[in-house]
Structure 1
Amino acid sequence: MPSEMKSSIPIEKEIVLVGGGHAHVHVLKRFGMRPLPGVRLTLVADEIETPYSGMLPGLIAGRYTHDEAHIDLWPLATFAGARLIHARATGLDLAGRRVIFADRPPLRFDLLSLDIGSTARANVPGAAEHATPVRPVRKFLRWLGELHANAEARPLKIVVAGGGAGGVELLLSLRHRLSGGPHRHDFTLVTEGEVMSGHNARTTGIFRRILNTRNVRLLERTPVAEVRAGELGTVAGDTQPFDELVWTTGPAPHPWLATTGLELAEGFVSVDRAFRSVSHDFVFAVGDTATVVSDPRPKAGVFAVRAGPPLEANLRRAARGLPPRPFRAQRHFLSLISTDDEHAVASRGPFAAEGDLLWRWKDRIDRRWMRKYQVLPDMAGETKADAPLSPQDPEAMRCAGCGAKIPAGVLARVIERLDPPPSPAVMVGLREGEDAAVLRTTPGALMVQTVDFFRAMVSDPFVFGRIAANHALSDIWAMGADPAAALAIAGLPPGAPDVVEDELFQMLAGAVEALREAGATLAGGHSAEVAETMLGFAVTGSARQERLFRKGAMLAGDRLILTKPLGTGALLAAAMRGRAKGRDMAVALREMQRSSGPAAAVLRSHGARAVTDVTGFGLAGHLAEMIGRSGLAATVELGRLPLLPGALEAMEAGYLSTLHPSNAEAARWIEGAIVAERPPHAALFDPQTAGGLLAAVPPQAAESCLLALRGGPAPGAAIVGEVACTGAHAFIRLE
């Protein structure tokens, strides 16, 4: 959700949070509960879900589900009114106060906070090539799925390198996960010092006993000198064979920090006790990313969690021009270390204890902490258990994107009342109802024009620019034309000049990239101050008359092919209330940024006769336009409609676009009584932003066309129906 929807106060300062670590999720939650007027947060995260370190062993063991052990950053950022930039930062321009990326323009900030965690310390020759590091967690969890499949096929020798708490918990969790399979696996723990070093002797003794009773081979004081394929060599000259080697030997800093110009301590950002960089007072860093040079602490999750409240307070103070306040973390803390059987060991200073009750205590602590960031109030004040407002409710949030179009019925009545003078230059105009206007220029050559704009439906301005450009280009592709140039129509709320400048630049940079991919250029435009961010384009293209696609040119027997999955309207409606999953929104945004140009080329090469783009009026509304102009009918197979991940769940929960009720008027074209607000029928009326093309393709070419689409520009394409002769009463029949 764009931050303008949270407050009408002009944005004067930008706080950019790089990384979705434990401290930053606290900052987001607290800013959502108590916004700072004139200050906007932007979260930059290369992963849309943050794993909670305290529940990672349980996730590996299979005791927690993926969702139970992860914080979804999308609804959290929505709640905070923060922009979410789903991208990987690769550097900083501190002089220009900009975050650098590999594949998009730099992003400006006034204040910066780094909470990017750490990477695996693979400082042994061969470890990077032959071992599996625990970090990044996403890649490790993907490897875990592969390991489970391999373990079903044969017995494995599994070695874990690293005898700290993380390595011990991981080994025991892996052992538990694989224990129910058909094979007995061999586990070895290798550590260069004593197991559980850093903890008291009693804790060490407890874990030696536990590992022994689990038949885990423990190799203490055994530094690894080299890793080769299937074998590690020790400093003493011994070798240890393995099928899988997991590397947990401690954290290492992200390499790109060394290029930033920040003062570092062993590669980590040097900060004072207020978490402020000792070299740049507008930069903060916490967690594994930083080292408090005057009061260092271990790289442990407990310190990252406890850094959240003081970091939030100091970011607020810095934004107001006040000096930050120092924070002193405790030197001794309680560690609750889980084993593989709902059993845990408590360790603090010289104290140690173990028992099932300690595991249940740890489980309650972890779940309680996660609930703070997983169960969020709704944007309108409802709780997660409350029913969403109906799209017809006047208090419902108005959708952005193509869900904000004027209803089709209203638009049709306005067009009927207009009486534009005819022009010999206009071949296809207002009354023809095609996707774009067609003008005669030179003999045999045609100019194709269209215009589209809408309010921002996503908080990332660069991604919004790409979506807005692709959406406008879609009409050109649907007419069978080639885009040439575009004029931008941009509106932004008032704010500090630097803020407005960067926002406008980010939007237009995304648009220019999408236009360039389409072979078009940005030729000019107009901008203005408006209440909410908006962007659109007037696009001009060219075509030969014989190559034009027309909506009414389909023939009976043609197969109907849809090139993109449906569901953006429902997902965006759910996302506005913080009810859409981040991983589902990531897929939806990827589809909205996918150009329809290459798909149009495939359709043409397979003889497509009639094409339209499925946008604001939904599949049913746009199909009704096609059959209305052709005088034919159509059959649609509901079970073959491609849907975006999470779209069906959003519809079932009642999250429908505000345009959905007017789109549902197209139900009059459908045979039989249906409930247009309920799945799966609701998908027919869901408004699409930058949706796919709907094409009538000759039956003999349909399957090869589908294979070409799925293997290239449109992996989500599907044959959704067939063109038929007109029935006695119905125009669209559902199967």
Structure 2
Amino acid sequence: MQTTIPLTRDLVLIGGGHTHALVLRMWGMKPLAGVRVTVINPAPTAPYSGMLPGFVAGHYTKDELDIDLIKLARFAGARIITGKASAIDTKAKAITVGDRKVAYDVASIDVGITSEMPDMDGFADHAVPAKPLDRFAERWDGYRKSASRPRVALIGGGVAGAELAMAMAHALRHKDHRVTLIDSGKVVSQFGDDARKHLLEALEENGVEVVADAKVDRITSDAVLLEGGTPIPADFVCGAAGARPHEWLKKTGLTLYDGFVSVGPTLQSSDPHVFAAGDCCYMRHAPRPKAGVFAVRSAKTLFHNLKAELSGEPLKGYQPQKDYLKLVSLGGQSALAEKMGQSFKGPLLWKWKNHIDTKFMRKFSELPQMGLAKLPSQVAKGVREELGDAPLCGGCGAKVGRSALKEALADLPQNDRPDIQSVKGDDAAIMDVNGQKQVMTTDHLRAFTEDPVLMTRIAAIHALGDVWGMGGKPSAATVQIILPRMSDALQRRTMAEIMGAAADVLGQAGAAIVGGHSSIGSELTIGFTITGICDRPVTLEGAEAGDEIIITQPIGAGVVMAGEMRGLAKGRDVVATYEAMLQTQAEASRILTPDARAMTDITGFGLAGHLANICEASGLGAQIKLIDVPTLAGAEELSEQGVRSTIWAENRGGAGAIYGNRSPKFDLLFDPQTAGGLMAVVPVEKAEELHEQLLLSGYKAAIIGKMTKSDGITVS
């Protein structure tokens, strides 16, 4: 009998900086058993600073610039929380992220720096800081593409500001543009005379106007006003002056130096359970300038010391190099190199820099294949075929197929109770309790994300969908939880997170938690049994020929989740899919219920399978216009690559007669949805009005076809 190693410690990485990205990669190759790893970052990606000027200049795409933290977290077996940390309570060992607390045993901070200028009049309203990089990169990308007569100003004439100014000028070279670099002192004064001379020449060659020894008074929507009233025309203003620590670090109680977390050789702060690395820390044993090279080279030490602190082993020290090679982009595909007072520039140095940067990024885009667990040498027939070469999906991708379920239910005794109404294919039953119609349903999901809060919210909305899909209003719920094996402390933390999230979602839906059950198993599974009140129950039967079909949410969640498990889905598409799953269908149900003749939620059987249920119950067929079916970002691309959820083949075979030409989008009709939208069949004269109401309420709804008298489902 195989023993499951229990989880006993929480490691939380705050920030997705270069050091933490490398730690995650190393953790994926050599994890410490018994540790649950969490990554907290505001976005699903983390831009690589070394390639930012190249991106600004147009040499790299946004995808090439970004480290995909979703993929990296999956590789490391970590959960990722997309949010911004705002506080650390070292006594309670908890990190504040939005409205939630994340507990830790050991934590590490790698949040970089900021170049915000909160004291500068107008900066918050009319400018963007160069750091954090993700916000700046997004704003610049939009401006570069849309501006017809760009006027750009950069405040801060250090190396970073000069590098960005030249990159911007290069990107805008085919437009009538003006780029101005403003500094309160000498521009690029950090370099020696030789390197500074080369940089000033490069600024001139790129057409960058340099304004030195100038102080900014305020920023308006169309200009930077200097002291004395001189205006610098600008409708895109970037702050690149100085390296400022994040303000929230002041409230942590950790020892700081000029606002940066003070660390010793082991990279531990004044609290031995909190480490720090990268630009947000100050190495008091060996002060160094803010440079990515130190963040990258400290990763091995941080990885070793985090594992050592969590396992009780000795820690080791990090001693940074005294000098390092500085490579600066010069706008076009040319670069300057400086070390120990010597400098050189030219296209060959750009090629060298490009080689170094792209090699670094391949560490995250080409993750090692760690392989599945080896099978015993002798196994029963069919084991290898059943396992396949892809991991088992979670959520609705792990459900039993429609045809298998129909067969299992076919031989059950028919319901003949007058107080219970059930329609074949419906996920819930309608009961008559003292003259009041009530709906009852149950559902549970095998986890597809390591974050129990996110998983709970999705599972709750998924279960509520059966009530909303019958026109009901949720009233009461019980919770069923299976936790993976873990220590008592982690059980308490996890249960608190789950129940807090469940109470929030169910409470907003109008349902009170009245009980439940919990146990320990092999993996996280969360379920709910829910009852609701139905004034006008809507079932699968009742559709009429000519009625139009409305869905309230794009499809493709199953393939995106399957792609995420295999490291193929883009992180931003995964997060967008999570956001779609988190949209409740309460308002959609309220809008559709008065007019719907038949309705259901789209979940495990996919759009085609649930439409087949309506067709079967109503004795009709259906016609779908594939072009009108909305899909989630990345879903069609993954489908074209052949990515399929575990249950896809069963859904395809169990949906009955489907007529149409196969294509990647056609295949998504059989994709299992978790917390999917509603599908309603409505009279043709009401369809446009209802569709408009759904759009105004924030749903990405669509009219996708109509009911027909013919058999089967036709896709055109």
TM-score grouping bracket, smaller chain normalisation: over 0.9
Residues of 2 paired with 1:239 and 1:597: CA distance?
A: 53
1:306-705 correspondence runs (5 A): 306-378=297-369, 380=371, 393-419=387-413, 422-428=416-422, 432-443=424-435, 445-544=436-535, 547-605=536-594, 607-671=595-659, 675=662, 678-705=663-690
**Once the 2 structures are TM-superposed, how far is the Cα of residue 327 of structure 1 from its aligned partner?**
0.8
1:594 to 1:126, Cα distance in 2 relative to 1, 3 A: closer
1:663 to 1:233, Cα distance in 2 relative to 1, 3 A: closer
**Once the 2 structures are TM-superposed, how far is the Cα of residue 351 of structure 1 from its aligned partner?**
0.9
Query: Does the 8 A contact of 2:402 with 2:654 survive in 1?
Result: no
Secondary structure of 1:680's match? helix
Residues of 2 paired with 1:593 and 1:611: CA distance?
A: 20
**Once the 2 structures are TM-superposed, how far is the Cα of residue 608 of structure 1 from its aligned partner?**
1.5
**Once the 2 structures are TM-superposed, how far is the Cα of residue 149 of structure 1 from its aligned partner?**
4.7
Residues of 2 paired with 1:433 and 1:186: CA distance?
A: 65
**Once the 2 structures are TM-superposed, how far is the Cα of residue 504 of structure 1 from its aligned partner?**
2.1
1:684 to 1:226, Cα distance in 2 relative to 1, 3 A: closer
1:190 to 1:671, Cα distance in 2 relative to 1, 3 A: closer
How many residue pairs match? The answer is 705
> CA offsets, 1:677-698, max 9 Å, x none?
x512211111111111111011
1:644 to 1:229, Cα distance in 2 relative to 1, 3 A: closer
1:631 to 1:230, Cα distance in 2 relative to 1, 3 A: closer
1:422 to 1:238, Cα distance in 2 relative to 1, 3 A: closer
Residues of 1 paired with 2:142 and 2:408: CA distance?
A: 59
2:245 paired with 1:256: no
Question: Which of 90, 101, 122 in structure 2 is aligned with 1:106?
Answer: 101
**Once the 2 structures are TM-superposed, how far is the Cα of residue 559 of structure 1 from its aligned partner?**
0.7
> CA offsets, 1:151-179, max 9 Å, x none?
32x3x442211111110110011101111
Residues of 2 paired with 1:207 and 1:713: CA distance?
A: 50
Q: Aligned residue for 2:377? A: none
Q: Aligned residue for 1:721? A: 705
Query: Does the 8 A contact of 2:557 with 2:671 survive in 1?
Result: yes
Q: Give me the identity figure in percent.
A: 38
> CA offsets, 1:380-431, max 9 Å, x none?
369xxxxxx9996545321110111111122111112222774343232xx6
> CA offsets, 1:261-306, max 9 Å, x none?
11111111111122110x2110001111111123211112222222
When the two structures are superposed, what TM-score results if normalisation uses the length of structure 1?
A: 0.92
**Once the 2 structures are TM-superposed, how far is the Cα of residue 244 of structure 1 from its aligned partner?**
3.1
**Once the 2 structures are TM-superposed, how far is the Cα of residue 489 of structure 1 from its aligned partner?**
0.6
Residues of 2 paired with 1:8 and 1:175: CA distance?
A: 58
1:493 to 1:269, Cα distance in 2 relative to 1, 3 A: same
Residues of 2 paired with 1:302 and 1:437: CA distance?
A: 62
Greater CA drift, 649-658 or 42-51? 649-658
**Once the 2 structures are TM-superposed, how far is the Cα of residue 129 of structure 1 from its aligned partner?**
3.4
Q: Aligned residue for 1:734? A: 715
2:129 paired with 1:133: yes
Residues of 2 paired with 1:580 and 1:146: CA distance?
A: 24
* Gap regions ≥5 residues in structure 1: 383-388
1:602 to 1:282, Cα distance in 2 relative to 1, 3 A: same
Query: Does the 8 A contact of 2:460 with 2:528 survive in 1?
Result: yes
1:138 to 1:397, Cα distance in 2 relative to 1, 3 A: same
Query: Does the 8 A contact of 1:200 with 1:349 survive in 2?
Result: no
Residues of 1 paired with 2:212 and 2:386: CA distance?
A: 67
Residues of 2 paired with 1:134 and 1:507: CA distance?
A: 37
1:293 to 1:241, Cα distance in 2 relative to 1, 3 A: same
**Once the 2 structures are TM-superposed, how far is the Cα of residue 224 of structure 1 from its aligned partner?**
3.2
1:394 to 1:219, Cα distance in 2 relative to 1, 3 A: closer
Report the RMSD for the aligned CA atoms in angstroms. 2.1
1:150 to 1:639, Cα distance in 2 relative to 1, 3 A: closer
2:160 paired with 1:166: yes
Question: Which of 59, 63, 72 in structure 2 is aligned with 1:67?
Answer: 63
Q: Aligned residue for 2:379? A: none
2:281 paired with 1:290: yes
**Once the 2 structures are TM-superposed, how far is the Cα of residue 572 of structure 1 from its aligned partner?**
1.1
1:270 to 1:667, Cα distance in 2 relative to 1, 3 A: same
Secondary structure of 1:318's match? helix
Query: Does the 8 A contact of 1:344 with 1:358 survive in 2?
Result: yes
When the two structures are superposed, what TM-score results if normalisation uses the length of structure 2?
A: 0.95
**Once the 2 structures are TM-superposed, how far is the Cα of residue 150 of structure 1 from its aligned partner?**
5.1
**Once the 2 structures are TM-superposed, how far is the Cα of residue 236 of structure 1 from its aligned partner?**
6.9
Greater CA drift, 156-165 or 199-208? 156-165
Query: Does the 8 A contact of 1:390 with 1:654 survive in 2?
Result: no
Q: Aligned residue for 2:115? A: 120
Q: Aligned residue for 1:386? A: none
